C-alpha cells in the first residue's frame, strides 16, 4: 500500500506544480480578473444571512445599474412626453371640441363641460408642476439627535424610519415610495400627495374625454373606414383624425393610469408605501410562521390614513386641500412618526 500512496502523493504534487506554473504564465490582468470573479462568488455565501433573494440581487445588479442610468438620462424626455401629450389633448379639446359644444349643447350642459374641463385641467397642471419641482425630502447629513433605524452604506448616514436609498437620485429619501421617471423625481414625504393627486385627476380627465367623446370617435372612425367616402375637406379629415387620436390616447391612459391610481389608493388606505408593501408582506409571512400577526406601526386606520395623507384637519379641508389646488406641507417632518392616532380619531371628518 505504501508504494501506491507514494505515487498518489507525487502525482498530486505534480498537478499542483503544473497549476502554479500555468497560473504564473497567465497575464496579470487575467489573473486579477480571475481573482475578482472568485471574490464575487465567495461573497454570495459570505454569512448565514445570505438567501436566494440576495443571490438574485447580485446576479441582476448589472440590469439594475442599466435601468438606473437609462432612467437618469431620459428623465427629461419622459417629462417632455407628458407635457407634449397632455398639451395635444388640450389643444384638440379647445380647438376642435369646444366650438362643437358651444353650438350643439344646451346652456346647462355647456356650462358643466366648461367648468369641469377647466377645473380638471388646472388640477392636473398644478399637481404635476408641484410633483416635479418639490423635493421629496432628505435625511440630515450632519450629526443630529433624530432617531434612526438603520445605516445607509452608500450615503454613509443614519436612515430614519421609512427612509430608503434611491440609486437614481444617489441619495436617501424620506418616506420613499418610488422613483418616477415621468416626474424625473423621487416620490417621497413632501411630494407624495402631489404625485397621487396628479394621477387621480389625470385619470378623471382622461375618463371624461373618453366618455364624452365616444360618439364623436365612432362617427369619425366610420367616416374614415368607409370605402366610398363623401367628399370630405382637408379640415374635416384632420378633425376626424384628431378625435380618433384623442379618444385612443385618453382611453389607454384611463386604463393604465387608473390601475396605478387604484393601487396607490390601496396603499394609502393601508398606510404604507410601495417599498413598505414589499417589506410588510415579508414581515407578515415571517411572523405568521411563528403564530403572530404583523401590524403596520405607521397605519392610523383607514380613514385617518387618508386624512394624514391629504393633510385634512377639519371638514372644510376636503374642499380647500383636496378638491382645490393647495400647497400645504404634509403631516409631520418625515423624520419621526407618531403612532398615537391609532387609538383615537385624530381629526373630525
pLDDT at 22: 52
pLDDT at 133 over 90: yes
Stretch 147-171: mean pLDDT: 87
Q: Which residue has the higher pLDDT, 73 or 200?
A: 200
Of 80-94, 102-116, 224-238, minimum mean pLDDT range: 224-238
Q: What is the CA radius of gyration of the chain?
A: 29
Q: Please state the length of the chain.
A: 349
Helix axes 75-92, 61-73, angle to 10 degrees: 50
CA distance 231 to 237: 10
Stretch 293-319: mean pLDDT: 91
How far, in whole angstroms, is CA 148 from its chain's centroid? 24
User: What is the set of active-site residues?
Assistant: 180
* CB 82 within 8 Å of CB 205: no
pLDDT at 72: 75
At residue 163, what are phi and psi to the nearest 5 degrees? -90, 145
Read off the pLDDT of residues 246-298 as tens digits, 9 standing for 90 and up.
Answer: 999 999 999 999 999 999 999 999 999 999 999 999 899 999 999 999 999 88
Read off the pLDDT of residues 18-64 as tens digits, 9 standing for 90 and up.
Answer: 555 555 566 788 888 888 887 776 666 555 556 666 667 677 777 77
Stretch 163-192: mean pLDDT: 93
Alpha helices, H only, the chain: 2-25, 28-43, 52-59, 61-73, 75-92, 98-104, 107-133, 192-212, 214-225, 234-270, 274-289, 302-310, 317
Task: Name the nearest CA neighbour of 77 among 183, 199, 196, 194.
Answer: 183
CA distance 93 to 201: 17
pLDDT at 245 over 80: yes
pLDDT at 32: 82
pLDDT at 277: 93
Stretch 193-214: mean pLDDT: 95
pLDDT at 141 over 90: no
Amino acid at each position: 500500500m505504501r508504494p501506491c500512496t507514494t505515487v498518489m502523493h507525487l502525482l498530486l504534487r505534480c498537478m499542483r506544480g503544473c497549476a502554479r506554473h500555468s497560473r504564473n504564465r497567465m497575464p496579470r490582468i487575467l489573473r486579477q480578473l480571475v481573482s475578482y470573479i472568485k471574490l464575487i462568488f465567495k461573497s454570495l455565501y459570505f454569512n448565514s444571512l445570505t438567501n436566494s433573494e440576495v443571490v438574485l440581487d447580485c446576479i441582476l445588479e448589472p440590469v439594475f445599474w442599466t435601468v438606473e442610468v437609462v432612467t437618469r438620462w431620459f428623465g427629461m424626455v419622459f417629462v417632455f412626453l407628458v407635457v407634449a401629450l397632455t398639451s395635444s389633448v388640450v389643444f384638440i379639446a379647445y380647438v376642435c371640441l369646444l366650438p362643437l359644444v358651444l353650438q350643439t349643447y344646451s346652456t346647462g350642459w355647456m356650462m358643466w363641460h366648461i367648468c369641469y374641463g377647466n377645473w380638471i385641467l388646472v388640477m392636473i397642471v398644478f399637481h404635476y408642476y408641484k410633483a416635479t419641482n418639490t423635493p421629496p425630502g432628505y435625511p440630515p447629513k450632519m450629526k443630529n439627535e433624530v432617531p434612526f433605524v438603520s445605516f445607509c452604506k452608500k450615503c454613509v448616514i443614519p436612515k430614519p424610519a421609512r427612509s430608503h436609498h434611491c440609486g437614481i437620485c444617489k441619495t436617501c429619501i424620506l418616506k420613499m415610495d418610488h422613483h418616477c421617471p415621468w416626474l424625473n423625481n423621487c416620490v417621497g414625504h413632501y411630494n407624495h400627495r402631489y404625485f397621487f393627486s396628479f394621477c387621480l385627476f389625470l385619470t378623471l380627465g382622461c375618463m371624461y374625454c373618453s366618455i364624452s367623446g365616444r360618439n364623436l370617435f365612432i362617427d369619425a372612425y366610420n367616416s374614415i373606414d368607409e370605402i366610398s367616402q363623401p367628399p370630405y375637406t382637408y379640415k374635416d379629415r384632420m378633425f376626424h383624425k384628431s378625435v380618433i387620436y384623442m379618444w385612443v390616447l385618453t382611453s389607454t391612459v384611463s386604463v393604465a393610469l387608473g390601475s396605478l391610481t387604484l393601487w396607490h389608493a390601496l396603499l394609502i388606505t393601508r398606510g404604507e408605501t410601495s417599498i413598505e408593501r414589499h417589506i410588510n408582506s415579508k414581515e407578515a409571512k415571517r411572523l405568521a410562521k411563528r403564530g403572530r400577526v404583523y401590524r403596520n406601526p405607521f397605519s392610523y386606520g383607514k380613514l385617518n390614513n387618508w386624512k394624514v395623507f391629504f393633510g385634512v384637519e377639519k371638514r372644510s379641508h376636503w374642499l380647500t386641500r383636496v378638491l382645490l389646488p393647495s400647497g400645504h406641507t404634509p403631516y409631520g417632518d418625515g423624520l419621526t412618526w407618531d403612532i398615537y392616532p391609532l387609538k383615537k380619531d385624530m381629526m373630525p371628518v
